[in-house]
Amino acid sequence: MSSPLSPAAHTVSHAPAPLSGARIVVVGAGMTAHRFAENLTTQDPEGSWSLTVIGDEPYLPYDRVHLSEWFATRDAGALSMNVDVWDDPRVTLVTGDGVAALDRQANVVTTKSGHQVGYDHAVLATGSWAWTPRAEGTDLAGTFTYRTMEDVERIAEWVRLREQSLGRPVRGLVVGGGVLGLEAAAALQSLGASATVVEFTDHLMSAQLDQGGGEMLRLLVEDLGMAIRTGAAAQRFLPAGDGPVGTAELSDGTVLPVDVVVFSVGIRPRDRVAREAGLAIDERGGVVVGTTCQTSDPAVWAIGECASFEGVCAGLVAPGNDMADVVADRMLGGDRTHHRADEGTKLKGVGVDAASFGDVNALSAGALEVSFVDPVNRQYRKLVLSDDAKTLLGGVFVGDIELYAALRPLLGRPLGADPAAIISPDGGGGVELELPDDAIVCSCQNVTAGTVRGAVTEQGCTSMGQIKECTKAGTVCGSCVPALTKLLNAELVKSGVEVSDALCEHFAMSRAELYRLVSDEDLATFSEVVAKFGTGRGCAICRPTVASILSTLHGGHVLEGEAAAVQDTNDHVMANLQRNGTYSVIPRMYGGEVRPDQLLEFAKVAQEYGLYVHITGAQRIGMFGARLDQLPEIWRRLVAVGFESGHAYGKSLRNIKTCVGQAWCRFGVQDSTTMAVKLETRYRGLRSPHKLKFGVSGCARECAEARGKDVGVIATHKGWNLYVGGNGGANPVHAQLLAEDLDEATLIRYIDRFLMLYIQEADRLQRTAPWVAERAGGLDELRRVVVEDSLGIGAQLEATVQEHVDSYEDEWSVTLADPAKLRKFVQFINAPGVADPDLAFVPERGQIKPAAEVDAVTYHDPRDARDAGLAGSEGAR
Amino acid sequence: MTFVDVCALEDLVTERGTGALLGDTQVAVFRLADGTVRAVQQRDPYSGANVMSRGLVGTTRVAGADGAERDVATVTTPMLKEVWNLETGEVLDSGGKVKKPLLVFATEVRDGRVLVADAPNPLVEA
Ligand code: SRM
Ligand SMILES: Cc1cc2nc3c(=O)[nH]c(=O)nc-3n(C[C@H](O)[C@H](O)[C@H](O)COP(=O)(O)OP(=O)(O)OC[C@H]3O[C@@H](n4cnc5c(N)ncnc54)[C@H](O)[C@@H]3O)c2cc1C
Ligand code: SF4
Ligand code: FES
């Protein structure tokens, strides 16, 4: 491997003592069992022991913490944890068979299928049950718990079938408003169901948040469309006419119609095997263990949620992992002990931020609370401090949890800054909090600030990826990543390493620098550029970047000569890859206009190929699901009626959104549509560091949302106002006014200059907004260069754009006329007519979508999927 | 294991891939800058889609067992950009996810024809 890293090793506090010949059995194959097996195999690579891990779930041990992500991928395999350990010849993994009994006299475990395994050491890692409340009707069809892969698969299937048979969206109810309940509610929403959450206490996440935080969280999840009922319990469930659950009665007398119910009211340790084996069990359940994680029988250990330590069964993975570490260490002769620290809790998977740690309700004697509440912006922050206001005892963060990662490691330590300043709206950033080396930054993996610093200074890590690989920090819940990033950068700066702006492994300079070099030396191919300024043969980062630079400097077709080999994969086939390997087809619709005759041909194509049709978010129409080998035939028909590439796949001008303007609208003061068509015609196909979007509105009412675009043009009575540096997307930014009341020629001159500057100077994948914000001198300096031409480069910038305009040809038309370029549009070079046999589609609302793993009936031909949908109960809506 | 003739070397674009069908097995075939050809499984193990041949090729510098560094040929999946060693199928960048290697198929260029083994090499221990 190229990285300077040793493989992730947990610290070993001893020289491994031989476990020679020992037979180890782990009961349960969940998260902590996996951690234990990983520890043992990596820490004692030569040992001659044998390890058998027995789990009753029919899957490879998977990452339960990220269970909800299954809904996004529908792929059980995507959640499995590092599978290398199961390849170790000393390790045997049994799945789908539970342990029925542990015989401590004979030192044997017996599985339900009658399989017997002898042991010298047994480790119980059986986790928990999800609890179902005592209420009538909790056994009706349509009621679920939320704990296992099987649970989520069954929930998804139920919602799908119920929606089909009811012919309307499904109504969901989650009983329990804790972190898991909210996660389950978000999952129901993602399946298209509505979600009501019933919580017995008076606020959400009552185990982790104080009342104020809980109330803010309520506002936030209500914004997401969830309905919240606190102070109520689910008392009774009654069946619908056809049998499954149909109504829920709450303790406050409310009766709710429901089609699916998920219980998330807590967990109970799975201690039956231990109990029947006569091991000590805590009165509240759980196998009693001490700091060594041994049970009342020293040959039997217990880790994870089934183990009761100091009377508590932890419901989080971090203490379980620590216990797994302790047992592996001890078996190998070490003397590690288990400790509990406050881990803090962060809500995840809901799309709303809430996190807390420590004494959230300020119950410690004399504790002081400092809070900031802003219901308008949905923010709540509270710090709990010791009576002298010095030591941090707890924190609650809802809405904006940036401070959580930075403050949690300081729990029980001096805060070292004014608490009010830290939590005030603009305070946090300014206050510098230096973490002590022994402060835990990543509590999931128990990694201290010192370990992260060491990874930089001693192991040479320079990126977040390397930090993760090296220390494992940041790989479970991810909430510590901001804090890790700060530590990493601070350490890099301290050790004199410049925070590198290298493009990638192959080019040591930034994109802007490379642009200048390529332009000065007048290089024309990737091979020349990499030979002169880089190393190796490039990668998926630098190849498309160089392709884009060469395209701006020299024009030419994207698939001409060597350029074909360096284009990003989307540019290479001039279409955008979809999740199942098919493509979208999005032709340009200048100014949002499309002629009826074009629309007819578009519809015919979609009909004949069975493609999915969607009005895109950018004022044009897309077809989805086209196979690689179909793209040329489809485009031939589109080009024939005057369509052109819409560059929806390129880092280049996408579309120009516009309104009907003066031509039709009562308020319009300029012809915005014509202006949009002119601009789109001018800048189409211009390759840039990131995609470019424009908007043109016919008056200040701004129906085209031009200020949300990289370039916004808004009509005035005297001409056009030019705005730059806006975008929607992940971090929406409003474009800022660059110049007012421009005539057409000046407007175009300024846009030419602005775009070329951006193309020359911006980083790879940096949109105009951050480029403008970070550019020295900001908007004022930019105005001097673009409007006043203070550098005297205006004419040159315009000339480069003009060259592009003059040499522009539609990529698809050129490709269709060149048999050589068409050759790659096949799935199989040795079987050109054959389509990917694994493609599968299902009907939805009279059209198609890619099939997922759970879909029982799928169609290889999208037209069959569509027709089945139209013919079936689903029908076209 | 037998070698199957899939195409002429000149049908392949340098540093670009193509799909090929060997019985029921889909493979991704790449022609590298040095004229050699590599083949790996067509299915991207992360997305499950048969798209590896549409990935970008390149190189990554790795240290060998002897500590000497060299560039090995790589492919990046077009889907979510994980990176593999084209010679061994080993994952070089999994984006922090579990490493899922690619099966590698032996290749030969004979008399200007590209031949690919119809069964994968045994998995190499990473
Ligand atoms: C198809 C479409 C969704 C739809 O069905 O409506 C879409 C689909 C994709 N968007 Fe988008 N975006 C679409 C309109 C938008 C819009 C709305 C707009 O343009 O007015 C936005 C917000 C406006 C903006 O960009 O400022 C938008 C913000 C994004 C972003 C976030 C960009 C940002 O700066 O944060 C990404 C991610 C990225 O580019 O890195 C993205 C990325 C993508 C990609 C390219 C992701 C990918 O690599 O597969 C999607 C595939 C495009 C395709 O198949 O052609 N898409 N995307 C829309 C295509 C519009 C078109 O006709 O070309
Ligand atoms: C949806 C969800 C989200 C979560 N989010 C977080 C989070 O963000 N942060 C966090 O820290 N924790 C989270 N957790 C909790 C975390 O998953 C658990 O703390 C962790 O999995 C505990 O590990 P374990 O090994 O003790 O138990 P488990 O992972 O549950 O493993 C126990 C295994 O043993 C099996 N088993 C039980 N009895 C037997 C038997 N007799 N024979 C054979 N096999 C048996 C069980 O079927 C199970 O597969 C979440 C849990 C869920 C369900
Ligand atoms: S922006 Fe102005 S001209 Fe355009 S539609 Fe709206 S009101 Fe009419
Ligand atoms: S705190 Fe959860 S991954 Fe670091």
pLDDT for A47-101, tens place per residue?
A: 999 999 999 999 999 999 999 989 988 888 889 888 889 999 999 999 999 999 9
- Residue A431, pLDDT score: 46
Q: What are phi and psi of A366, to 5 degrees?
A: 70, 10
User: Under an 8 A CB cutoff, do B54 and A572 touch?
Assistant: yes
Tell me, yes or no, whether A111 and A165 share the same domain.
Answer: no
Element of type H or E holding A441: strand A440-442
What number does the ligand 1 atom closest to the CA of A710 have?
Answer: 26
CATH number at residue A241: 3.50.50.60
Hey, what amino acid is at B13? V
- Residue A499, pLDDT score: 66
Residue A749 pLDDT level (bands cut at 50, 70, 90): very high
The mean pLDDT of A721-749, rounded to a whole number, is 94
Residue A498 pLDDT level (bands cut at 50, 70, 90): low
Of B20, B63, B83, the CB nearest to A830: B20
Of B14, B54, B73, the CB nearest to A565: B14
Q: What is the dihedral of CA A836, A842, A848, A852, to 10 degrees?
A: -70
In this structure, which residue's CA is closest to atom 29 in ligand 2? A30
pLDDT for A764-815, tens place per residue?
A: 889 999 899 888 888 999 999 999 999 999 999 999 999 999 999 999 999 9
Tell me, yes or no, whether A182 and A260 share the same domain.
Answer: yes
pLDDT for B90-100, tens place per residue?
A: 999 887 778 89
Task: Tell me the pairing of strands A392-398 and A379-385.
Answer: antiparallel
- Residue A552, pLDDT score: 87
Residue A429 pLDDT level (bands cut at 50, 70, 90): very low
> Is position A459 within any domain?
yes
pLDDT for A365-416, tens place per residue?
A: 999 999 999 988 899 999 999 999 889 999 999 998 888 888 888 898 888 8
pLDDT for A545-563, tens place per residue?
A: 999 999 888 887 878 878 8
> Is position A593 within any domain?
yes
**B positions 87-106 inside 8 Å of A (CB):** 92-93, 95-96, 98-99
In angstroms, rounded to a whole number, what is the distance separating the alpha carbons of residues A427 and A419? Answer: 10
- Residue A873, pLDDT score: 56
In angstroms, rounded to a whole number, what is the distance separating the alpha carbons of residues B110 and A336? Answer: 61
Domain boundary among A331, A362, A377: A331
Residue B6 near chain A (CB below 8 Å):
yes
Tell me, yes or no, whether A318 and A281 share the same domain.
Answer: yes
- Residue A876, pLDDT score: 39
Q: Which residues pair with A262 in a beta bridge?
A: A144, A174
B20 burial type by CB count under 10 A (0-12 exposed, 13-18 middle, 19+ buried)? buried
Tell me, yes or no, whether A107 and A152 share the same domain.
Answer: no
Strand positions, DSSP E, B1-126: 3-8, 16-22, 25-31, 37-41, 56-63, 69-76, 83-85, 91-93, 104-110, 113-120
A210-214, A498-502, A860-864: segment of lowest average pLDDT: A498-502
The number of residues in chain A equals 877
pLDDT for A306-323, tens place per residue?
A: 999 999 998 999 999 999
Residue B14 near chain A (CB below 8 Å):
yes
What is the DSSP-derived secondary structure letter of residue A587?
B
Residue B8 near chain A (CB below 8 Å):
no
Hey, what amino acid is at B79? M
Tell me, yes or no, whether A68 and A203 share the same domain.
Answer: no
CA distance B122 to chain A (A): 14
The pLDDT of residue A3 is above 50: no
In angstroms, rounded to a whole number, what is the distance separating the alpha carbons of residues A505 and A514? Answer: 14
The pLDDT of residue A743 is above 50: yes
Residue B18 near chain A (CB below 8 Å):
yes
The pLDDT of residue A149 is above 70: yes
In angstroms, rounded to a whole number, what is the distance separating the alpha carbons of residues A581 and A716? Answer: 46
Substitution target in A34, A86, A569 with the highest count of B β-carbons within 10 Å is: A569
Structural domains in chain B, sorted by start: 3-117 (2.102.10.10)
Q: Are A441 and A487 in contact (CB under 8 A)?
A: yes
> Is position A829 within any domain?
no
CA distance A381 to chain B (A): 31
In angstroms, rounded to a whole number, what is the distance separating the alpha carbons of residues A68 and A186? Answer: 9
> Is position A569 within any domain?
no
Give the ipTM of the model, two decimals please.
0.74
pLDDT for A330-356, tens place per residue?
A: 999 999 999 887 778 888 889 899 999
Closest by CA position to B121, among listed B75, B83, B87: B87
Of A527, A577, A837, the CB nearest to B79: A577
- Residue A432, pLDDT score: 54
Q: By CA distance, what is B7's nearest residue in A?
A: A830
Under 8 Å CB pairs connecting chains A and B tally to 131
In chain A, the number of structural domains is 7
Residue A872 pLDDT level (bands cut at 50, 70, 90): confident
Q: Which residues pair with B84 in a beta bridge?
A: B75, B91
The number of helix segments (H) and strand segments (E) in chain B equals 0, 10
Average pLDDT score over chain A = 91
Tell me, yes or no, whether A39 and A56 share the same domain.
Answer: yes
- Residue A10, pLDDT score: 44
Task: Tell me the pairing of strands A612-615 and A621-626.
Answer: antiparallel
Distances A709 to A152, A667, A729 between C-alpha atoms, Å: 40, 22, 10
- Residue A434, pLDDT score: 73
CATH number at residue A629: 3.30.413.10
Distances A414 to A355, A358, A391 between C-alpha atoms, Å: 20, 14, 4
Closest by CA position to A711, among listed A748, A742, A685: A748
Helices (H), A288-369: 317-331
| pTM (2 d.p.) | 0.59
Of A572, A573, A580, the CB nearest to B49: A580
Tell me, yes or no, whether A275 and A261 share the same domain.
Answer: no
- Residue A88, pLDDT score: 94
Tell me, yes or no, whether A248 and A275 share the same domain.
Answer: no
Hey, what amino acid is at A760? Q
Buried b (16+ CB within 10 A) or exposed e, A480-516: bbbbbebbbebbbeeeeeeeeeebbbbbebbbbbbbe
CA distance B97 to chain A (A): 9
The pLDDT of residue A875 is above 60: no
- Residue A563, pLDDT score: 81
A385: tokens are 């401090």
Closest by CA position to A154, among listed A199, A184, A126: A184
CATH number at residue A380: 3.30.390
- Residue A600, pLDDT score: 97
* Residue A391 lies in domain: 353-431
> Is position A821 within any domain?
no
Tell me, yes or no, whether A798 and A748 share the same domain.
Answer: yes
Substitution target in B56, B62, B113 with the highest count of A β-carbons within 10 Å is: B56
Q: Is the dihedral of CA A624, A625, A628, A634 positive or negative?
A: negative
In angstroms, rounded to a whole number, what is the distance separating the alpha carbons of residues A530 and B71? Answer: 14
pLDDT for B30-83, tens place per residue?
A: 999 988 999 999 999 999 999 999 999 999 998 877 878 889 999 999 998 899
- Residue A5, pLDDT score: 40
The mean pLDDT of A600-605, rounded to a whole number, is 98
pLDDT for A829-858, tens place per residue?
A: 999 889 999 999 999 999 999 998 888 899
Tell me, yes or no, whether A414 and A494 share the same domain.
Answer: no
In this structure, the number of other CB atoms found within 10 A of the CB of residue A754 comes to 25
DSSP string computed for A291-313: TT-B-SSTTEEE-GGGEEETTB-
Tell me, yes or no, whether A776 and A627 share the same domain.
Answer: yes
Residue A2 pLDDT level (bands cut at 50, 70, 90): very low
Q: By CA distance, what is A504's nearest residue in B?
A: B60
Residue A11 pLDDT level (bands cut at 50, 70, 90): very low
> Is position A732 within any domain?
yes
Buried b (16+ CB within 10 A) or exposed e, A842-855: bbeeebbbbbbeeb
- Residue A561, pLDDT score: 79
Greatest CA separation for chain A: 95
Tell me, yes or no, whether A274 and A410 share the same domain.
Answer: no
- Residue A853, pLDDT score: 81
